[in-house]
Amino acid sequence: VGQDLQQSGRIAAKLMEAIAPKGEIAILHIDEKFKNAIHMQEKEKGFRNYFLQKENTDYNIITLKLKRTNYEIKFTDFLKETPNLTGLFITTSKAYQIAQIIQETQQNKISFIGYDLLDKNISYLNQGTIDFLINQNPKQQVYLGISFLVDHFVFGKEINNATLLPIDIVNSENASYYME
């Protein structure tokens, strides 16, 4: 039960193409071991594939992996080393950590897409630092997962191998509807 992660990455790429000026886009993986995090790998794969399938693109896509320790210093150094950075795609729910640094250090607007409707992420979305959040709808995932288990073990129903949920795009204009 969840989203098609590659498609989620493709949607983030299409949004980024619509809002980011030509230049460098960074895919940031924060605070997880990338080789063990299939969800981050699949999102990045979808994001990159979107741009690879374009014939003419003026974006250079780079990947940055940040660990919990010293992520502030590493990302601040990355900003200094990447003056043509026009977009950020955060593959985890930690977008707020990067948004805080962007607010403190950046003069120019960087297009910014992240995941999950955490209060801190919503705050930066409403302030305009984050442009879009992709909602993975964890409550519905849990609800459906438990419902499927009950249907299977109590009522003997077969369970589908996969149930894919819609990919919700949240911006400052519709965020309040998701928070009720």
Q: What is the pLDDT of residues 26-47, one digit of tens each?
A: 999 987 665 657 889 999 999 9
Given this model, what pLDDT does residue 140 score?
78
Residue 1: both structure tokens together: 């039960």
Contact 79, 106 (CB under 8 A): yes
Closest CA to 127 of 78, 71, 62, 175: 175
Mean pLDDT of 158-179: 91
Mean pLDDT of 9-18: 97
Closest CA to 61 of 73, 43, 47: 47
Given this model, what pLDDT does residue 32 score?
67
Q: What's the pTM?
A: 0.90
Mean pLDDT of 10-22: 97
Helices marked H in 20-155: 38-52, 71-81, 95-105, 119-127, 138-155
Residue range 123-158, pLDDT digits in tens: 999 999 999 999 988 787 787 888 888 988 899 999
Given this model, what pLDDT does residue 1 score?
74
Average pLDDT value for the chain:
91
Mean pLDDT of 108-127: 95
